[in-house]
Amino acid sequence: MGINAPLNRKLRMALVGGGQGSFIGRVHSIAACLDNRAVVTAGALSSNPERAKASAPDYDIAESRAYSSYQEMLETEAKLPEDERIDFVSITTPNHVHFEVADAAVKAGFNVVCDKPMTFDLDQAETLLKSVQESNVVFAVSHNYTGYPLVRQAREMILNGELGEINAIRSQYIQGWLRTQLEAEDQKQAAWRTDPSKSGAAGAFGDIATHAYNLGRYMTGLLPETVSCSLKTFVEGRKLDDYGTAIIRYESGALGSVTASQISHGRENDVEIEIDGTKGSLKWRQENPNEMIVRQNGKPHQIYTRDPNAPFTNGSGAAACRLPSGHPEAFFEAFANVYSSAFDAMVARAAGETVEQRDTVYPNVYDGVEGMYFIQQCVASSSQDAAWLPLKHAAARK
């Protein structure tokens, strides 16, 4: 069977951002190409036209398709014959640029994979959603932790009722790298993430709490009702939050909490989630992603390993594995799974099928809207003494 059957060819990827010195651009290209289903074909790799051109050889992009700007890229590519032009655009710029690139790409009819948080604010997100709805493109958002096989395994278990009714979700994302005012030392990653004009209304809550919140939503499908949030800025001189906790009431009566920190010494990317149901509980931790603990009263604790061949592994879990158990898979492979699920949809669309945009395995534009709403409401709640504010957006997926 050929690659991306019935297309039988690789998908052509265009990268926006990812120029020299970028980290996340390289992550996207590795993840997208891991399974040999895509090839980096074009790029607008930097807002600086010279650097954009100079970075092309890093990705083996032909000179002719190394564009000076995303506008030029979209315009030129749209005019290429169908069997040459790009299939999708991956957007890996700082947050404040996401919207204009994404909206233009969508309107030009290209599929999009966009970094999270999806836009600068909720207004942009809602506008973008409308564009996507109209254009019928595939639009994925890189909530990459949803790509871990055991996250998908857990999701299917929960949606199937194996944990019973869900009562509680506790998730956290703990980092330490912004413990000092790195942004004052001209560290590029720190600089834009702590700058309200680039990062948006939130710091830690925009950058990482969104992941922790999304993970609970993705795994359980519980719909939120209200949120009460307390944000803090512990590092002097910083303009955005670097720590916070949100309490979430779900419509079903379940209670959730989300904590994010960028100021916890020595902590790396400690994403952890615990879910309590009436029939079982589970715990998963991103830094050791090939294991998940499932517990039931009266039974030994069960360590589910990432094992595509085990009877206890369900369809979602197995489909997300490339290796047998014991040979660990990790960040890149999870990221690649987000791409891979989006590719399935892109191939279907290319084959003329109507594609689902909302209830998808990969995180999509609806999740992106919800993430922006989460950020907005958390910041608003925090500024109102942790008042309870609505959290359910009309675009929320189940």
Binding residues for a copy of itself restricted to 330-369, rule: CB under 8 A: 330-333
**Residue 243: partners with Cβ closer than 8 Å, 6 or more residues away:** 204, 231, 232, 233, 234, 260, 261, 262, 263
Distance between CA atoms of residues 177 and 165, nearest Å: 37
- The angle subtended at Cα 247 by Cα 243 and Cα 249, nearest 5°, is 155
Task: Say whether residue 188 binds a copy of itself (CB under 8 A).
Answer: no
Nearer to a copy of itself, 103 or 242 (CB): 242
Shortest distance, CB of residue 394 to a copy of itself, whole angstroms?
25
Task: Say whether residue 2 binds a copy of itself (CB under 8 A).
Answer: yes
The one among 6, 109, 161, 253 contacting a copy of itself by CB under 8 A: 253
Residues 105-164 that bind a copy of itself (CB under 8 A): none
Shortest distance, CB of residue 188 to a copy of itself, whole angstroms?
13
Nearer to a copy of itself, 145 or 373 (CB): 145
Contact 43/66 with Cβ under 8 angstroms? yes
User: How is 374-388 classified by DSSP, letter by letter?
Assistant: HHHHHHHHHHTTS--
Task: Say whether residue 32 binds a copy of itself (CB under 8 A).
Answer: no
Residues 49-88 that bind a copy of itself (CB under 8 A): 57-60
Shortest distance, CB of residue 232 to a copy of itself, whole angstroms?
5
**Residue 33: partners with Cβ closer than 8 Å, 6 or more residues away:** 13, 39, 40
Nearer to a copy of itself, 97 or 150 (CB): 150
Residues 190-249 that bind a copy of itself (CB under 8 A): 228, 230, 232, 234, 243-245, 247, 249
Closest CA to 156 of 374, 148, 5, 388: 148
The one among 312, 351, 353, 359 contacting a copy of itself by CB under 8 A: 312
Nearer to a copy of itself, 40 or 106 (CB): 40
Edge to edge, what strands does the sheet with 139-141 contain? 38-44, 11-16, 88-91, 111-114, 139-141
Nearer to a copy of itself, 286 or 357 (CB): 286
Q: Which tokens hold the place of 180?
A: 């000092």
Contact 277/219 with Cβ under 8 angstroms? no
Shortest distance, CB of residue 275 to a copy of itself, whole angstroms?
9
Task: Say whether residue 6 binds a copy of itself (CB under 8 A).
Answer: no
Task: Say whether residue 392 binds a copy of itself (CB under 8 A).
Answer: no
Contact 380/389 with Cβ under 8 angstroms? yes
The one among 63, 82, 186, 385 contacting a copy of itself by CB under 8 A: 385
Q: What residues are paired with 229 via a beta bridge?
A: 246
**Residue 200: partners with Cβ closer than 8 Å, 6 or more residues away:** 95, 96, 117, 120, 121, 206, 375
Q: Which tokens hold the place of 320?
A: 């997300």
Shortest distance, CB of residue 33 to a copy of itself, whole angstroms?
7
Q: Angle 365-383/210-220 helices, nearest 10 degrees?
A: 130
Shortest distance, CB of residue 74 to a copy of itself, whole angstroms?
24
Shortest distance, CB of residue 146 to a copy of itself, whole angstroms?
15
Residues 271-290 that bind a copy of itself (CB under 8 A): 274, 276-281, 286-290
Nearer to a copy of itself, 48 or 278 (CB): 278
Shortest distance, CB of residue 106 to a copy of itself, whole angstroms?
27
The one among 239, 301, 351, 359 contacting a copy of itself by CB under 8 A: 301
Nearer to a copy of itself, 36 or 354 (CB): 36
Q: What residues are paired with 295 via a beta bridge?
A: 281
